[in-house]
Amino acid sequence: MAFLEMKNIAVMYQKGQRILENFNLQVEKGTFLSLLGPSGCGKTTTLRTIAGFLAIQEGELFINGKLYNKVPTHKRNLGVVFQNYALFPHLSVFDNVAFGLKMRKVEPSERKKRVMKAIEIVGLKGFEERLPSRLSGGQQQRVGIARAVVIEPDVLLMDEPLSNLDANLRLEMRAEIRRIQKEIGITTIYVTHDQSEAIAMSDKVALLNSGRIEQLGTPQEIYYSPETSFVARFMGFQEIANGTVSEITGGKCFVNTGEVSLEVRSSSEISRGCKAVVFGRQKNLNLLKERSDNSLKGLVKAKIFQGDSVLYIVELGDQIQINSEVSVEQALWNEGDTVFIAIDRNLSIAFKREER
Partner 1 sequence: MRKNWWLSVILILVMIFLIGPFLIIFISAFGNEASLRFPPRGFTLDWFKKVLTMPMFLDSLKLSLRLGVFSSLIAMLLGLPVAYVISRYDFRGKRFIELTTTFPVIIPQMVAGLALLRTFVMLNLFSIEITLLIGHTAIVLPYVIRNVISTLVNFPPSIEEAAVSLGASRVRSFFIVVLPNITTGLISAFILTFITSFNNVPISLFLTGPGVSTLPIVMMTYMEYYFNPSIAALATILIAMTVGIVAISQKLLGFSRMM
* Site residues (vs partner 1, CB under 8 A): 14, 51, 53, 72-80, 82-84, 86-90, 99-100, 103-104, 144, 147-148, 151
**Phi, psi dihedral angles at 118 (to 5 degrees):** -65, -40
CB of 114 to partner 1, least distance (A): 13
- The DSSP annotation for 137-157 comes to HHHHHHHHHHHHHTT--SEEE
Looking at beta carbons only, is 150 or 207 nearer to partner 1?
Answer: 150
CB of 125 to partner 1, least distance (A): 22
CB of 39 to partner 1, least distance (A): 17
Nearest to 176 by CA among 146, 131, 221: 146
Tally Cβ neighbours within 10 Å of residue 142. Answer: 25
Nearest to 324 by CA among 343, 337, 349, 341: 341
- The DSSP annotation for 317-356 comes to STT-EEEEEEEGGG----TT-EEEEE--TTT-EEEEPPP-
CB of 161 to partner 1, least distance (A): 12
CB of 219 to partner 1, least distance (A): 28
Helix axes 108-121, 137-149, angle to 10 degrees: 130
Nearest to 162 by CA among 137, 182, 184: 137
**Phi, psi dihedral angles at 309 (to 5 degrees):** -150, 170
Looking at beta carbons only, is 12 or 200 nearer to partner 1?
Answer: 12
**Phi, psi dihedral angles at 93 (to 5 degrees):** -55, -45
- 215 pairs with which residues across the strands? 207
Q: 302: part of which helix (H) or strand (E)?
A: strand 295-305
Looking at beta carbons only, is 91 or 311 nearer to partner 1?
Answer: 91
Query: Is the Cα torsion angle 49, 53, 57, 62 positive or negative in sign?
Result: positive
CB of 132 to partner 1, least distance (A): 10
- 286 pairs with which residues across the strands? 342
Largest CA distance in the chain: 77
Looking at beta carbons only, is 63 or 78 nearer to partner 1?
Answer: 78
Looking at beta carbons only, is 77 or 323 nearer to partner 1?
Answer: 77
Q: What angle do CA 151, 153, 159 make, to 5 degrees?
A: 105
CB of 73 to partner 1, least distance (A): 5
Looking at beta carbons only, is 144 or 280 nearer to partner 1?
Answer: 144
CB of 89 to partner 1, least distance (A): 6
Looking at beta carbons only, is 98 or 208 nearer to partner 1?
Answer: 98
CB of 113 to partner 1, least distance (A): 18
Looking at beta carbons only, is 72 or 336 nearer to partner 1?
Answer: 72
Looking at beta carbons only, is 73 or 282 nearer to partner 1?
Answer: 73
Cα 268 off chain centre by? 22
